Amino acid sequence: MTTDPSSSVQETRKDLGVRLRHLRKAAGLTGKELAAATGQHFTRISRIENGGQPPTESNIRAWCLACDAEDQIGDLLATAQSIESAYLEWSRQARAGMRRLGDLHSIATYRATTTFRIHEPLVMPGIFQTEAYIRRMLAFWYDFLDAPDDADETVAMKADRTAIALTPAKRIVAVLGEQVLHTRRGAPDEHAEQLRHLLDMMRLPFISVGIIPADVQRFAIATTGFWIFDHNAVALETPTAAIKVTRPQEIARYMAMFERLRAEAVYGQPARDLVDAVIDRL
């Protein structure tokens, strides 16, 4: 799974072009024949197939109809959309304030989502963060991204968003690396408060929290945190970009990775013991 935003768009565009070329060849059409059938110049067909030019929605629909591959339209359209929205530049969006970053972490998305699947190897998931933890995180990002300070507004937005997620009508399934428990964002008393808050969340019946012990033998390789919103989209964050995955085949890959990570975690009392051990050392 490619998570580098600098190459994501071009690689996805090339993959889309290859898939469209396979559809054309499977239908027994030459580039010129497909161009005539879809009302395009044949050089455009070549550019699309080689990743040099993105197809429009109407291009994809006409292409699939000409190749008798209507069943491919939905997945191809999702792929084309991901080319343009695969990542959003944080430094550009941050100028409008941190509360506006990441459309998948919006109140609207949280309201529409039924099941959140969360993997975080290093950072406490936002749904579980205390206000002190949030403010410590924001302080870094304001400085790093040279963004205007809208901390109060962002904290309020996150509180509203969390309230929407933390309801019995929804389900939150989280897999955390043990390092999340040790990574301290503030003073020891703040960190202890954060971990006690996590324990409170773990007691809620609609929340499942697994923790992967640091010394357990690992099999799955997933060094970047990611959130899966139902079966609709995956969100990842890097220091410079928010990446949005909407292609069904890629979402299925993340779902499979998440299940592998869940299998390596401990739950219930063993997980709470890991949290308690860190609190005792503070």
Question: What pLDDT is stored for residue 105 in this prediction?
Answer: 80
Other CB atoms within a 10 A radius of the CB of residue 70 amount to 10
Do 60 and 133 reside in the same domain of the chain? no
Domain boundary (85, 113, 148) is at 85
Do 19 and 125 reside in the same domain of the chain? no
The bridge status of strand 226-229 relative to strand 115-120 is antiparallel
Helix (H, G, I), strand (E, B) or coil at 212: strand
Low-confidence ranges of the chain (pLDDT < 50): 1-7
What H or E segment, with its residue span, contains residue 226? strand 226-229
pLDDT in tens, 102-128: 556 888 899 999 999 999 999 999 999
Helix axes 5-26, 73-85, angle to 10 degrees: 160
Total structural domains within the chain: 2
Long-range pairs of 145-154 with CB within 8 A, sequence gap ≥ 24:
145/90, 145/91, 145/94, 145/98, 146/91, 146/94, 147/94, 147/95, 147/97, 147/98, 148/95, 148/97, 150/97, 150/98, 150/99, 151/98, 153/97, 153/99, 154/97, 154/98, 154/99
Question: What pLDDT is stored for residue 93 in this prediction?
Answer: 59
Do 175 and 132 reside in the same domain of the chain? yes
Structural domain harbouring 202: 87-281
Domain boundary (85, 113, 132) is at 85
Do 161 and 271 reside in the same domain of the chain? yes
Do 55 and 158 reside in the same domain of the chain? no
Do 129 and 230 reside in the same domain of the chain? yes
Tokens of 18: 């290859």
Do 158 and 256 reside in the same domain of the chain? yes
Do 125 and 78 reside in the same domain of the chain? no
Taking the mean position of all CA atoms in its chain, how far away is CA 277? 30
Question: What pLDDT is stored for residue 8 in this prediction?
Answer: 52
| Mean of the per-residue pLDDT values of the chain | 87
Amino acid at 164: I
Question: What pLDDT is stored for residue 95 in this prediction?
Answer: 57
- CATH number (domain holding residue 122): 3.30.870
